[in-house]
Amino acid sequence: MGKHIVILGGGTAGTMTANRLCRTDGGHGARVTVVDQDDDHLYQPGLLFVPFGLAQPHHLVRSRPRQLDAAVDYKQARIERVDLDARTVHLADGIRLSYDVLVV
């Protein structure tokens, strides 16, 4: 089985990284998991249009999982701690994610 890549944060950078990894994996079987504490993904570039009345802030918010490639595993949870020695992320709901590569 391939590597497990865990990405902490599902903002623009985390989402782009996860999606790019899924597209460029080349069939190596890497599993990608994104962790974020909430479901709201704000499309920040769209904020440029708000002061000019060309966009409304509520139209710039999307569900995080809908922005991710279908192959990405999304965990909505608060990150409790990262154990670098054990290569494990501990989530507030008791889930522990082991990883080979951690992206922060």
Per-residue tokens: 39: 């479901």
**Total structural domains in the chain?**
1
What is the rounded average pLDDT of the residues 94-98?
96
- Across the chain, what does the average pLDDT equal? 92
- pLDDT tens-digit map of 59-90: 999 999 999 999 999 999 999 999 999 999 99
The CATH number of the domain where 60 resides is what?
Answer: 3.50.50.60
Structural domain boundaries, residue 8: 4-103
Q: Of 40, 103, 100, which Cα lies nearest the Cα of 76?
A: 40
Bridge partners (DSSP) listed for residue 88: 83, 98
Q: What is the pLDDT of residue 24?
A: 79
Q: What is the pLDDT of residue 41?
A: 87
- pLDDT tens-digit map of 13-27: 999 999 999 887 655
Q: Model pTM greater than 0.95?
A: no
Q: What is the pLDDT of residue 50?
A: 96
